[in-house]
Structure 1
Amino acid sequence: MESPCAIVSCGNSIVQDLGECSLHCTKNDYGTDFHNNSVLSMFYDQLVDYILKQVYEISLSRPILSRDDFKAYLLDELESETAEALAREQVIVFDHIYFPERDSRDRFDYFKVLKKVKRCAF
């Protein structure tokens, strides 16, 4: 069984030898993070899950779209006006998240996900 992140209320699995998950661990330069146990792709996946948790578990309003469909929208697997509307009305708070360097050519470029969520607080 993998250990949970050291950050309180975060249930993500840790990045090997860092004690924190890919959202909360300190990042290095792009090349180091890319080759360090896939920190960048793990960050992308955990960021999407973090957004989903904010929308479906913390939000005060009841989402008008299934969690799976909204996830597909965030991952560019679904085009949907309903998903776009849901993304526009959400305020996502990124609390204690350390964003890594990015490369727009990567499949796991998190900026593509952030552009879909119109109202973010850091």
Structure 2
Amino acid sequence: MAQCTTDKCNLDGKYEDKCALHCKKKDYQSDKLKGILDDFYEELAQYIYEELSNVNNKKLQDALLNAREEHLKKSHFSYASLLLDDGDEILKEILTDEIIFFGAINFPEIKSRDTFSFFKIFQLFKGLHFDRSTIGFGSINLNNVQIFFQDCTFENDWSIHSYLIIEDVVSKTIFQNCIFKERVSSAAKEHSRDI
């Protein structure tokens, strides 16, 4: 299978020469039937693992190596299960100090009935920095996780929650140069209205 045609991506280009992270998402049902959503979840976990592998932190690198070695012993290796392993308290503790950068990823729409949830993985981190990404999901509500969206496009209705701002963002904003294609509303009950 050919490699994804997106610059610096080494994943398989299964969907019109793109991987599940970079392919254009259509509607939820067709993406689910084609397997894009399941592939997206695992490829996103792999992307996060690779991003973490580039962090200059010996304690983190040792924890990642140990977690990978343990998970390779299992019959089915999965980056998602490696990151979400409840038994690996050392890795989980280290991740709470990390901010993950998502560059040019096309996030799909998701539903509560899905068996996967990348929000479970997001909850592991101190912060999430989305840059030049397309956002298909309709909100993000993670306690104690700092958020920053830069040059992102929001494809569907977006519901704003109470967010923490990433500390080192100079502009002290959550949405910088973003495009919202549909309605934006506040999810807080006392402020519930269209914006």
The residue aligned with 2:177 is none
Task: State the identity as a percent.
Answer: 27
CA distance in 1, matches of 2:127, 2:66: 21
The residue identity in structure 1 corresponding to 2:2 is S
Matching of residues 1-122 of structure 1 within 5 Å: 2-16=1-15, 18-36=16-34, 38-56=35-53, 58-62=54-58, 63=60, 64-67=62-65, 69=67, 71=79, 72-74=81-83, 76-122=84-130
Relative contact order (alpha carbons < 8 A, sep ≥ 6): 1 or 2 greater?
1
Report the structure number with the largest CA radius of gyration.
2
Report the 3-state secondary structure (helix = DSSP H, G, I; strand = E; otherwise coil) of the residue aligned with 1:52. Answer: helix
Q: Which ranges in structure 1 are unaligned for 5 or more consecutive residues? A: none
1:66, 1:103 → 2: CA distance? 30
CA distance, structure 2, for counterparts of residue 91 and residue 107 of structure 1: 25
Please state which structure has a larger fraction of its residues in helix: 1
Aligned residues: 117
For 2:127 and 2:65, the matched residues in 1 are separated by: 19
Task: Give the TM-score taking structure 2 as reference length.
Answer: 0.55
RMSD of the alignment, in Å? 1.8
Contact in 2 for aligned 1:5/1:20 (Cα 8 Å): yes
Aligned to 1:66, what secondary structure does the other structure show? helix
Quick one: which amino acid aligns to residue 18 of structure 2?
Answer: E
Deviation for aligned residue 1:107: 2.2
* TM-aligned CA distance change 1:68 to 1:47, over 3 Å: farther
Q: Kindly indicate whether the alpha-carbon contact (under 8 Å) linking 1:22 and 1:43 is maintained by their aligned counterparts in 2.
A: yes
Which structure is higher in strand share? 2
